[in-house]
Amino acid sequence: MAVFEYTALTSEGKTVTGVIDADSLKEARQKVKRSGVFPVDVIPGAARPSAASRRSFLGERVSAAEVSVLTRQLATLLTAGLPLVDSLAALGEQVERTTVKRVVAAVRERIREGATFADALAAHPAVFSSLYVNMVRVGEASGTLDRVLLSLAEFLERQARLRNTVTAALTYPLLMLAVSVLILVFLVAFVVPKVTVVFADLRQALPWPTVILIALSDALRFGWWVLALAGVAGGMAIARYVRTPAGRRRYDAWALRLPVVGRLVRMIALSRFTSTLSTLLAGGIGLLTALEIVKNVVRNVVIADAIETAQESIRQGQSIAEPLRRSGVFPPLVTHMIAVGELSGELETMLKKVSEAYDHEVETTVGALTALLSPVMILVMGGVILFIVLAILLPIFEMSQIVR
């Protein structure tokens, strides 16, 4: 059975699109008609851009939240006893976005052709991560696919909550910073020149705050394109350097050493490490394979190097806790809990507890930083405004003294 994409007209004359599976083009047209719309164009799904990528030609994407919802719904259907192919068909009918429909239909078609569920998911690497595919592969082999999908859904939801916490906390300060910068640029580039033009005919030395303010104003008015080009070029150079192995290593090491933000970056990476490793081990994946997957999830080269060293130690018969402790990257809390988990045989449970503790600490730290950041930004803005006011008033005071 092949996958077809259609464009059709409703009885009200509205254009609708969708995805449908059928044995032939003729049957696909008949299915579209039976759904109550008139088919205008029905083509095989392969004739359009592949859904293997998260982003289509028009920039559409399958978000992590959508993958999480699909995973939980599929786990529910499988738990109820519905076969996998029928469950995917029900999901395909339920989702509304064409991009998601295309992915679900393509996965279902691959399974109908004889591929395993994991192999069908692996054909869409930007939608389903290696962690996701490996967990599904283990679930298929052990006959516990429904429980594995439920565990995956919980893991994705925890990651989404953590990401949303950080994003929501930083949205207001970043918006406030952007508005403040725009206001300052407007003042310096357009308002200040109209005021400082009065000082142009003065035959006396201006105060240094006024000189600095006039220089900044002239630079923004006449050299803004130079500053813009320099900023873009500098940003591109830094981004290009960070993409190199040496640049990435230095950037990640620098991020971990930052006074306040570095601690937050470390906690987020460790939360991702512990929660992902716990999920993989609970799903039945071996420790070495799980560490290989986790190494690509932490998104920090320094921590990934420590994990790779731990892999080598495990291959030599050592425990995982000791090499992590020697790396100096992992705090004592993590290494102690891992050591206890190894001794008790409940490593995944201990890792989950550490992950929950770090998630809570991240939320607390982000909340405290946000509460502190707003007044600090207000003070900085107040200082800048005070500087502008003084730069304008000081020459006026000097002029009044000369008049006297």
The band of 55, judged by pLDDT with boundaries at 50, 70 and 90, is very low
State how far the Cα of 106 lies from the Cα of 102, in Å rounded to an integer.
6
Predicted confidence (pLDDT) at residue 112 exceeds the cutoff of 50: yes
> What confidence tens digit (pLDDT) does each residue in 121-151 have?
988 888 888 888 888 888 888 788 888 888 8
Structure tokens at 221: 């008015």
DSSP, residue by residue, 262-284? HHHHHHHHHHHHHHHHHHHHHTT
Spell out the domain ranges in the chain. Answer: 2-152, 153-404
DSSP, residue by residue, 15-68? EEEEEEEESSHHHHHHHHHHTTSEEEEEEEGGGSPPTTSSS-TT-----HHHHH
Report helix angle 261-282 to 130-142, nearest 10: 20
337 neighbors 351 (Cβ within 8 angstroms): yes
159 neighbors 272 (Cβ within 8 angstroms): yes
78 neighbors 146 (Cβ within 8 angstroms): yes
Which one has a higher pLDDT value, 242 or 189? 242
Radius of gyration, CA atoms only, the chain? 29
Predicted confidence (pLDDT) at residue 403 exceeds the cutoff of 60: no
Structure tokens at 261: 């933000």
E strands, 164-249, are: none
Give the pTM.
0.67
H or E segment at 9? strand 2-9
- pLDDT at position 51, please? 40
Question: Quick one: CATH architecture of 2-152?
Answer: Up-down Bundle (1.20)
